[in-house]
Amino acid sequence: MAFLKILVFLCLFATVHLRVPKRINNELEAYIEEKKAEINPRYKLHYHVTPPVGWMNDPNGFSFFNGEYHVFYQFYPYDSQWGPMHWGHASSPDLVNWEQLPTALVPDEEMCFSGSAIVKDDQLVLMYTGRVNTEVDPFFYESQYLAFSDDGINFEKYEGNPVLPVALDGSPDFRDPKVWKHGDYWYVVIGSKTPDNRGRVLLYRSPDLISWEFLNVLGESTGNMGYMWECPDFFEINGRHILLMSPQGMEPVGDRYKNLHQTGYIIGTFDYETFEFVPEVDFQEIDFGHDFYATQTTENDGKRILIAWFGMWETPFPEAVDGWAGAMTIFRELVLHNDRLLMKPVDAMTSLREETVWDGKFEEGEKISFDKTLELIVTSDLNQKINIQITGSNGGDQILLQWDPDVRKVVVDRDGDIRQVEWSPIDSKSWRIFLDASSMELFCGEGEVVFSSRIFPNGEWLVTNLSPQSVDVVAYKLRRSVPE
């Protein structure tokens, strides 16, 4: 009955509530500009995309259009906590230097939940989930909407929205469309759940982005992979297909799945004739840190690039008292090696190196003070333990980066909250560590193991070698590449 009520409502809605095209909301942009002056900058990141004010979560619409990369994000400008979702917007020529652009989408009857972007007929097209609250059970529904732009800045919502009103089984959880082109058709994967609360990903196709045909359930939990699969992505690397998604509600198993919600991938094969995805390698986490969720990828120049929300639901955001909350990770290139995805920082990250501030031995027990932005390359003897302590020059949060040769595990200990995973180096045995004003990203070797964790120091950085060995360190101060 609830499904029928939703269907009738949507039919009436599509008939009498055509979308009114909207340009930049000057009143909103003036508000953002005024509120920026009130932001406390102590934790504001210098080379990560963050909201100018207010709240940020999932990256959206990651794409390449008119010679620039575009990334959008879930955005609530009026408070530093989650609220009615807008789409914030930033652009970059190189994935490193970012310009803040006007808010791309503002809510009307619908909140503008997550989605993706594609280029069609010289337009940048956004496909996003519109969420509308109702007064009948299940008290909300989610549908798929379109918005179009000729210049990549001003967006007009499609007058015939929604183009995909309901999931095939009527599930109200029907969100986060990721679109791509293959042959003569556009395809989209959308996150959903079964009636008995098992996560799934649905596959559709369309000749024009307007009329959509359901094809198949691309993937589905058998009961041990959570109650909802959010933010699905589907792409090919080296002839193999990757289903990347964020399952909610997976139970911890040993060292794995320690976060409240997970992000990972399944490797398999896909047939565009039968629309069947056949898994070949079981689900694997893609990042092992405390704060990593809701990934999105795009491809350009033959490289598959990934970004994620540098946060986690239902955890504290200490920066919220400063007038903003949430960030994006640095951008990473994905490489498929045998049955694993490797992640490494995009090559352009080296352009941020402003000066070399250390190059040599870091002796046992030695302490070094650094500015708020730092890249560290640590090389050591992996037959001995490593223990690098990172904290604020005036205290605050502390994180320990450790290597235990007895069990061959990398350990990230954030004030007693531990994440750890086995590491088998392919070639390089070095660690590459990125520190920003309130973040740490650790890339081991060729990117076999990556940890992304927020950390909130008082003052600048203080790094101490607590290892029973000296280690070789090269340290670079990194310049600012996002707006203040």
The residues assigned a catalytic role are 58
89: nearest Cα among 215, 77, 484, 184:
77
Rg, the chain, Cα only: 22
CA distance linking residue 328 with residue 73, whole number of Å: 9
Separation CA 404–CA 422 (nearest Å): 9
Tell me if 335 sits within 8 A of 347, measured CB to CB.
no
Tokens encoding 4: 């029928």
How far is 149 from 119, CA to CA, in rounded Å? Answer: 10
Please tell me the distance from the alpha carbon of residue 432 to that of residue 421, in angstroms, as a whole number.
17
Q: Quick check: 231 and 246 in contact, CB under 8 A?
A: yes
Q: How many helices (H) and strands (E) does the chain have?
A: 2, 33
Q: How does DSSP classify residue 260? A: S
Q: How far apart are CA 334 and CA 441, in angstroms?
A: 16
Which strands form 409-414's sheet, in the order they lie side by side? 367-370, 461-465, 386-392, 395-404, 409-414, 417-422
Q: What is the DSSP string of 288-306?
A: -SSS-EEEEEEEETTEEEE
